[in-house]
Amino acid sequence: MKLMFISDIHGSLFWLERALEKVEEEQADSLVIVGDFLYHGPRNPLPKGYDPQGVANKLNEYNKKKPITAVRGNCDAEVDQMLLQFPMMGDYVMLLHEGRRIYVTHGHGFSIENLPALSEKDIFIQGHTHIPVADVKEGIYVLNPGSISLPKENNPNSYGVLEGGEFIVKDFEGNVVKRITL
């Protein structure tokens, strides 16, 4: 089963449409959104193609074809949930993938620097920093797909794919940004 992770849409319909095209190109079985859906946040510039209502409509349309798994980001609010037709207000979600536990959260509570109680070889995935990560910390795989709309520290717009014991962060041209074998 192939999972695709995107984070930090921040209301960019332009980048969301590109990401959904990548879901199809990657032939991902499931899409996991790691928070910050509609609002750009007071510290961020307006992203290209800023259209929060368009993002909500596009996600709702996609969710009818293939259910979305999602967690709330620090820029998400209850009013956002009113627009989205899938649950996204949980602080985290636990997934089981190829025999491994995956803890998915946005990263503004538990984070790579403040891990929850996990076991060795579990997977921790966060967004929030807009910086791709594929590493191991305290025996736990720590991953971040980066941001599709507002990357930071000169990183490209990116997404993550988990399949066959490997997590790969790619840019939208298909170049590998980060990779780790689990």
pLDDT value for 56 = 98
Cβ–Cβ under 8 Å, residues 43 and 10: no
pLDDT range class, residue 2, cuts 50, 70, 90: very high
Average pLDDT value for residue range 34-42: 95
Tokens representing residue 128 in the block? 């929030």
Give per-residue pLDDT as tens, 126-154: 999 999 999 999 999 999 999 999 999 99
Average pLDDT value for residue range 3-16: 98
Average pLDDT value for residue range 32-36: 98
Q: What is the pTM of this model?
A: 0.97
pLDDT range class, residue 11, cuts 50, 70, 90: very high
pLDDT value for 18 = 98
Cα–Cα dist 75/54, whole Å:
17
pLDDT value for 133 = 98
Would the CA dihedral through 132, 90, 20, 121 be positive or negative?
positive
pLDDT value for 120 = 95
Cα–Cα dist 171/132, whole Å:
10
Give per-residue pLDDT as tens, 75-124: 999 999 999 999 999 999 999 999 899 999 999 999 999 999 999 999 99
* Averaged pLDDT score across all residues of the chain: 97
Of 83, 82, 86, 49, whose CA–CA distance to 67 is shortest?
A: 86
pLDDT value for 83 = 97
Cβ–Cβ under 8 Å, residues 28 and 66: no
For the chain, domains (ranges, CATH) are 3-181 (3.60.21.10)
pLDDT value for 91 = 98
